[in-house]
Amino acid sequence: MDQLTLSTSVNYQITVQGWLDDSWSERLSGMHIEVKIPENKVPVAILDGTLKDQAELLGVLNSLYELHLPIISVELIALSQA
């Protein structure tokens, strides 16, 4: 893996418990939103997209916190090539 810094652009996948529709994408830095309802019937929203730096990641996480959506996971998928 290349060097990760606070200003590295990174593709993340963030999973939260709860429902988010596509109208929230702009507020969440343009991340793609997909909702799945597993067997236990508790909806899970999966956000996927590239964030330009750690500050933008923090902004997305703060927005999810303000929406009272419990965060299940934050995964670094790949460093952006752009």
Has residue 52 been placed in a domain? yes
2 token code pair: 């290349």
The enclosing domain of 28 has a CATH number of 3.30.70.260
Q: What is the pTM assigned to this prediction?
A: 0.91
Per-residue model confidence (pLDDT) at position 38: 83
Beta bridge partners of 49: 12
Q: Is 19 helix (H, G, I), strand (E, B) or coil?
A: coil
Per-residue pLDDT reduced to its tens digit, 37-55: 988 789 999 999 999 999 9
Q: Return left, alpha or beta for 17; rule: phi > 0 is left, psi -120 to 50 is alpha, else beta.
A: beta
Per-residue pLDDT reduced to its tens digit, 56-80: 999 999 999 999 999 999 999 999 8
Has residue 1 been placed in a domain? no
Phi and psi, residue 57, nearest 5°: -60, -45
Has residue 40 been placed in a domain? yes
